[in-house]
Structure 1
Amino acid sequence: MTAHDTAWRFHAHPEGRVLDVRLEGTVLKVTPHDGDRHGSTWALRAQPGTPRLEWLGACAGEPDEAHLLAAIEAAFQRHPAARQLALQSPLPTGTRLVDAGIVTPAEGALPTVAREAFWQWPRAWLPQPREPFAQRFIVTQGKRHPLRPAKPQGTVYRRHIPWLGKTLTLDTVDIERDLPAFHRWMNDPVVAHFWEEEGDLARHRQYLEGIAADPRVTGLVGRFDGEPFGYFEAYWAREDRIAPFYDAADHDRGWHALVGEARFRGKPFLTAWMPSVSHYLFLDDPRTQRLVIEPRADNEKMIRSLGRCGYAHVKEFDFPHKRALLGVLWRERFFGEALWIPRADPTAASPAPVRRHEPSLEDIHANP
């Protein structure tokens, strides 16, 4: 960008593609990142109440669906308070956007895109979205739960973070590639204080091999523009150790986190990765209605951050190895309140139990 270039720029990743978005004035252009000249041009008009996105292509044509998704995402990024978007564009042939409830036709008016619905469309952020796995029940160690699908491989989530100017990805763990960083992170004093998994390379290889062999848990590495910064574990709560402490539903998910690279700790990065982890888990299976997390009860920074990202602080309880706090995020709240961007700091500092807790956001170090 030159000194005289005032354009706003964004990267979208629909259907596993990388598309560049450039907005100057009201003109929004979507082009493939690989230099392909086949782009699309749109007008984004900030009219009162509902912004309007207009396709400026040929009258007899129609936009590419990936370009349409990129333009819609960019429009909502530019107008984060807008609950819906008016769409003045033909729809791509064969699109499922109407059937899925993403685009709502209106007789005598322009179709609309509801923000709450659009952010639930996996194809905008998941390179390889999966259909819901057929429900069959099994029993594992005395716990009855749905049979889980095979764990994914590779990049499972990709989202551009405008305030960082970086793209966040979540990748499944590749032990040979990721073991050196994982080993270093686990021996970092800040991480070790909460995870208590210090050790040599052999111990950490064994740890990751155990996660890889466990159908209940998926290990993930978070990256900003390809640079690894942290480790996450996503698990099915029904068959996890947390299940006896609340009424775990069949498709509830939970997660653990650590930020291993010190320079990626802090508010600007946390406001990117924490909501993105939640977003990914809700997108991975539309039947997931709740996310749970159980940080140590003395992990005050984590608990404050969770509150601001929509997690209700339900109760404290005792695991055999720690006293924990149960946090719960409802799907309806995450999408209804647009919590992929955490709330601003509130004026009240004291937490409200269970229903609505939005304390200030601080740095986060780890959550075993």
Structure 2
Amino acid sequence: MRLPDEFVALFSADRPARTDDLLDHLRTWGSVPTPVGTFQLVPVRVERDLPLIHGWMNDPAVAAFWELAGPPNETEKHVRAQLDGDGRSVPCLGVLDGTPLSYWEIYRADLDPLTRHYPARPHDTGIHLLIGDAEHRARRLGSALLRAVADQILDRRPACARVVAEPDLRNTPSVAAFLSAGFRFDSEVDLPGKRAALMVRDRVLRHVLCNVW
């Protein structure tokens, strides 16, 4: 019995081991206008971006919540675990007007261990965010960028009805930024290492919960 060539090709050695199909080809989403500038999610390349991300992770204000301070290999291990996975989580730089100033993880919350702690729905999409340098955090960009990314997820992922996030409850500026970006507080959840605020941006409420950028 001979298998069709098309079938064999699906399993050929040349087929990429990892794609971002699970997030509807995030790398093709492109840039979007926001009130604070033109913004784009750019998937991380370790050889290019590790020094920048490592520096951010060692900022005490960031390390208090991300807990990834230390030598570069600690940051690299965290990032590579996603890059070498099946595409359910994509680490990205957030580039505003040509300047990389934030780090993002866009992930399939419905395929994540987070589902042990909340009633997930198919295609729920999660967000992790840090704004790197103190000078950019002082600009209060979080709400504008969160709204832009959540809108982009809902635009690019038609099967996704909700965007979710789980910032540390102690991180009140982060929780406030999510609220201002149109997310609602759903509940408190106990996660490994933190008590979190489960924040939800519902597609059906997309144009109702619209506070300020």
Q: Same fold (TM over 0.5)?
A: yes
> In the alignment, which residue of structure 1 is the partner of 2:8?
none
Is residue 182 of structure 2 the alignment partner of residue 310 of structure 1?
A: yes
Alignment CA distance shift 1:157-1:298 (3 Å): same
Is residue 32 of structure 2 the alignment partner of residue 159 of structure 1?
A: yes
Which segments of structure 1 move beyond 6 Å, counting only runs of 4 or more?
Answer: none
Q: Is the 8 A contact 2:147 2:182 kept in 1?
A: no
- Take 1:285 and 1:153, find their aligned partners in 2: how far apart are those partners? 9
> In the alignment, which residue of structure 2 is the partner of 1:184?
55
Cα RMSD for the two superposed structures? 2.2
Alignment CA distance shift 1:226-1:154 (3 Å): farther
Which of structures 1 and 2 has the larger relative contact order (alpha carbons within 8 angstroms, sep 6+)?
A: 2
> In the alignment, which residue of structure 2 is the partner of 1:201?
72
- Take 1:231 and 1:155, find their aligned partners in 2: how far apart are those partners? 18
Q: Is the 8 A contact 1:157 1:280 kept in 2?
A: no
Output aligned runs, 1:1-368, within 5 Å. Answer: 149=21, 152=25, 154=27, 156-161=29-34, 163-164=35-36, 166-215=37-86, 216-266=88-138, 268-334=140-206, 336-337=207-208, 339=210, 343-344=211-212
- Take 2:171 and 2:141, find their aligned partners in 1: how far apart are those partners? 18
> Which amino acid in structure 1 is aligned with residue 38 of structure 2?
T
SS at match of 2:193: coil
Which structure's residues are more often helix, by fraction? 2
> In the alignment, which residue of structure 2 is the partner of 1:91?
none
SS at match of 1:193: helix
TM-score of the two chains, using structure 2 as the length reference? 0.82
Structure 1 position 267, deviation (Å): 5.2
- Residue ranges of structure 2 left out of the alignment (5+ in a row): 1-19
> Which amino acid in structure 2 is aligned with residue 197 of structure 1?
L
The superposition leaves residues 158-190 of structure 1 with CA deviations (integer Å, 9 ceiling, x where unpaired) of 1123x43x3111111111111110010010111
The superposition leaves residues 29-82 of structure 1 with CA deviations (integer Å, 9 ceiling, x where unpaired) of xxxxxxxxxxxxxxxxxxxxxxxxxxxxxxxxxxxxxxxxxxxxxxxxxxxxxx
Q: Is the 8 A contact 2:144 2:181 kept in 1?
A: no
- Take 1:313 and 1:267, find their aligned partners in 2: how far apart are those partners? 24
TM-score of the two chains, using structure 1 as the length reference? 0.49
The alignment covers a number of residue pairs equal to: 193
- Take 2:143 and 2:122, find their aligned partners in 1: how far apart are those partners? 29
